[in-house]
Amino acid sequence: MIKKVWKSLVIVFILLFLYLPILVLMAYSFTDATNIGAIRGFSLHNYVTLFTTPELVHMILGTVVLALASALFATILGTLGAIGTFYSKKTMASAVTTMNQVPVVNADVVTGFSICILLVVVFGVSKDTFIPLIVGHVTLCAPFVFLSVIPKLKQMDSSIYEAALDLGATPFTALIRIVIPQIFPGIVSGFALAVTLSLDDYFVATYTKPATFDTISTYVVNATKGAQTTIKTALWALSTVIFLLVVLLTVVMNLRAGKGSQERSGV
């Protein structure tokens, strides 16, 4: 019994460490206080500022568009790469797998800096074209798509593909109708992972982004240094919105995953 209490205490304590700051900030985002600790009245002005200041709205939209675009490229490249690698000879496959591992283990600072050097310094590509930024984010994300698709290919039943060919499907049709549906869960989780990686990235973006463009991360890091109060508290509102979105997504995903496993166990 005492052991059980201890265990729950440990869990609760660490959860508090992870969530207390976010929850306190969330509570304060609904007041007109400018510092944590001050007790002030209820107010929604942070949310008004967040959604009406053009600078903030552009920054948020820019981050989202960048994340979706780079995740899309990363998913296409990574998925095709995984399929190709899976059917390649061993030397080729291990070469691609090794190269794929480099951005995964490497520090993001190094990834961002080295891409900046190659594209901006050596090839003279202007950062204002957004090419270095997109390339940077695709490089950051694609390896993770690759890693989430490969296991699905390994689990796949290869005889269905053979059967499709025997029944007269062209390899292309068989790929689209047989292989892709079987590895689709891997593609989806790869895409989702790519989106979150791009949204969370600071380092690759700092080294490759145009000077006038900001992602949430680069904006927040600069804003906390400048300490302009209205912006600072509007960012509390942004944390709250993102936190609630994450909670919502998690709940939806879990409900759907629960349903899926029930259906599968029913087969």
Partner 1 sequence: MYRHLFSRKNLGIPYALFLALFVMAPLFVLFYYAFTNGEGEFTVLNLTGFFTDPNTLGTLCYSFGIASVTTVVCLLMAYPVAYILATSKLRAKSVILMLFVMPMWINFSLRITALKEILTWIEGSLAYHPFLNTVLGMSYDFLPFMILPIYTTISKLDGALLEAARDLGAGNIQAFLKVTLPLSMPGIISGVSMVFLPAMTNYVVLDMLYNSTYIMGSLIGSYFAAYNWHGGSMIALILLGIVCLFTLFTRGIEEENTRGGMLL
Within 12-51, which residues bind partner 1 (CB under 8 A)?
Answer: 14-15, 17-22, 24-25, 28, 35-37
Question: Cβ of residue 150: shortest distance to partner 1, in angstroms?
Answer: 10
- Options 44, 57, 104, 252; binder of partner 1; rule CB under 8 A: 104
Name residues contacting partner 1, limited to 69-98 (CB under 8 A). 77-78, 80-85, 87-88, 92, 95-96
Q: Distance between CA 101 and CA 150 in Å, rounded?
A: 13
Cα 61 to Cα 214: distance, rounded to the nearest angstrom? 10
Please count the CA atoms within 13 angstroms of the CA of 104 that sit on its side-chain side.
Answer: 13
Judge residue 212's burial from the number of C-beta atoms within 10 Å of its C-beta, 0-12 exposed, 13-18 middle, 19 or more buried.
exposed
Nearer to partner 1, 45 or 192 (CB): 192
The 3 state secondary structure assigned to 149-195 is HHHHHHHCCHHHHHHHHHCCCCHHHHHHHHHHHHHHHHHHHHHHHHH
Q: Quote the least distance from Cβ 7 to partner 1, whole Å.
A: 5
Q: Tell me the C-alpha distance between 112 and 127, whole Å.
A: 13
CB of 25 to partner 1, least distance (A): 4
CB of 43 or CB of 120, closer to partner 1:
120
Task: Decide: is 102 part of the binding site for partner 1 (CB under 8 A).
Answer: yes
Q: Does residue 106 belong to the site contacting partner 1 (CB under 8 A)? A: yes
Among 135, 178, 183, 231, indicate the residue that binds partner 1 (CB under 8 A): 135
**Stretch binding partner 1 (CB under 8 A), from 42-50, 51-59, 188-196, 259-267:** 188-196
Q: What is the DSSP letter of 128?
A: G
* Residue placing its CB nearer to partner 1 in the complex, 43 or 192: 192
Burial label for 71, CB within 10 Å (0-12, 13-18, 19+), is buried
Span 144-173, contacts to partner 1 by CB under 8 A: 144, 146-148, 165, 171-172
With a CB cutoff of 8 Å and minimum separation 6, the contacts of 141 are 70, 71, 74, 78, 193, 194, 197, 198
In the complex, minimum distance from the CB of residue 98 to partner 1, in angstroms, rounded to a whole number: 9
Q: Is the Cβ of residue 144 or residue 213 nearer to partner 1 in the bound state?
A: 144
